[in-house]
Amino acid sequence: MRVCVPVCAKSLADMEEACARASQLADIIELRLDCVEEAIWTAELASLIRKQSRPLILTFRPSEQGGRRALTRAAREAFWKGDWGASRTALLDIESDLVIDGSFDWPRVIASHHDFSGVPDDLETIYERLAATPAHVVKVAVGANDITDCIRIFKLLDRARSEKRNLIAIAMGDAGVATRILGPSRGAFLTYGSLEDASATAPGQVTARQLRSVYRIDEINEDTMICGLVGRPVMHSVSPHMHNAAFAAAGVNGVYLPLEVRDVHAFIKRMVRPDTRELDWNLRGLSVTAPHKSSVMELLDSVEPDAKEIGAVNTIVIEDDGLHGYNTDVHGLMAPLRERVSSLNGLSVAVIGAGGAARAAVWALQKDRARVTLFARAPMKAGSLAESFGVSCEPLAAASFKNYDVVINATPANPGVAGQLAGAKLVYDLVYNPIETRFLKEARDAGCETLGGLEMLAAQAQLQFELWTGKKPANRLMYDAGLAALRQ
């Protein structure tokens, strides 16, 4: 069993309908009976169970352990003492407080422990206590506050596999997604995938469809090359869709994961650097996004000259001899722009912003001999950036872009210059979600040509993929994958 789809519905009738949809994606279905508001009559439940073609897990979890109802201990004990004759093959997920002192049909029991606050200091002791019961499967689900919280979960899976003990081990939350995707390849009894984003029954739960189609979970094994996006937040990114599509098309045994990193120093030391990492995994490459593009540089063994000049790394290649940093953002920014204007030499370009993206844009444009002017809401704050590149910095509020060949928005939001864009030839927004931003719509309404940020994202991702694999992805493949993800 690999992917379990939890079904949570307010009535058994709704649950039956959801089961029909879940059966198309799941190896096993979990009936979250604590979600049902009405009284659960044995006859009705037995009928629902008999109709299912997939194996089942039955769960009746109290709210303090992640359930949807306030359930007393007495109510739960009475529930599990019911007549389960219709569910002879179903597994029963029973909480640790009942399992330790109870008597059950042990070959069917999942003895589970949940802690949403974080990884408890006594995690291994909790595992040992549950593993000492006759339960068929042990389950431990704990909250992850940073990516490094996954280490103990992966180590617990390694231990259980060596002890030949069935274990479900999950780090919940966005920082723990790697345990959900990689868990089965490291011996986990199963992983959970929601039916839809809105129906997730635990923090950080990815959809079953994404597990299968985006991450190709059925193909991941111990030899799979692992790459990922390092940042905070990262779950909104379409980069996993693009890179995993490229892995599939190139026939590469690889997977690209979202890696929510709070402490990048601890992450690099404990999970990345080959000589100090605490995890045995085939980690090959990393994309780096906010807020770590600059701070990660001091942790690398080498940084390409362009990235040093820009002051930011967005790509790491992991080799036996160390960690090597690159900046593919510049290539991503310039490649689609060059396709539109062929040569930037002598063109007047306005760059809106004062952060890292603006810095990379100014650097790259000057390399192509464009005439650059920086525009910012607070020119004083952008002064050091303008001074470092020898460009002028003007207040955004008073700007007129009618004589500019190119206007680039290098801020994460709409700069609010709708009435100032008329006359600009090409307007380029580095934001890629939504596909047509408000800024681009305003530019189009003003009669300007437009260029969206997804072009940049795909171009920089293509170069990353080449650095990690030595293979060049098919033209437009990564763009099309990103576009499809945004349209979902």
Active-site residue numbers?
293
Which residues lie below 8 Å from residue 487, measured CB to CB, with a gap of 6+?
Answer: 435
Distance CA 208, CA 197 (A): 10
Distance CA 79, CA 42 (A): 10
Distance CA 381, CA 270 (A): 36
Nearest CA among 22, 194, 24, 192 for reference residue 93: 192
Distance CA 102, CA 57 (A): 19
127 and 154 in contact (C-beta within 8 Å)? Answer: no
Q: Which amino acid is at 128?
A: E
How many C-beta atoms lie closer than 10 Å to residue 319's C-beta? 12
Distance CA 330, CA 15 (A): 50
Distances (CA, A) of 263 to 228, 269, 357: 16, 10, 22
